[in-house]
Amino acid sequence: MNRQMKRAQRRQGTPVDRARSAASARRPQPVEARKRTGIRQFLKEVRQELGKVLWPTRKELITYTIVVLVTVVVLTTYVFGLDVVFSRFVLDIFA
């Protein structure tokens, strides 16, 4: 029980029972047993959720794929270039 709750109880006139609140704080709360969902129910819910998805059109899919491929090629080329420059730099220093 925190200070705000104790103050509110004092204002309302209810006694603050430390022993009862301490005992209830130490007592573990009963844990509800989780009910497992069957495979059929799970697949039904998955299908319902996939029906809510806004799928891209064929044109959007092609555009996004091209953007990803170009980005991967550009970044791969950039990292390869940095690798070549640093490897030459290191070989010039130690060779």
Asked whether residue 11 is domain-assigned, the answer is: no
Mean pLDDT of 15-21: 57
Asked whether residue 94 is domain-assigned, the answer is: yes
Asked whether residue 34 is domain-assigned, the answer is: no
Could you list the residue range(s) of the whole structural domain that residue 93 is in?
Answer: 55-95
Is-contact 9 17, C-beta < 8 A?
Answer: no
> Is the pTM for the entire model greater than 0.85?
no
pLDDT band for 12, please (50, 70, 90 cuts): confident
Show Cβ contacts of residue 21 under 8 Å, excluding neighbours closer than 6 positions: 1
Q: Which two tokens stand for residue 41?
A: 């129910």
Structural domain total, the chain: 1
Asked whether residue 68 is domain-assigned, the answer is: yes
| Phi then psi dihedrals of residue 13, to 5 deg | 90, 5
Asked whether residue 71 is domain-assigned, the answer is: yes
Asked whether residue 29 is domain-assigned, the answer is: no
What mean pLDDT is reported for the chain?
A: 86
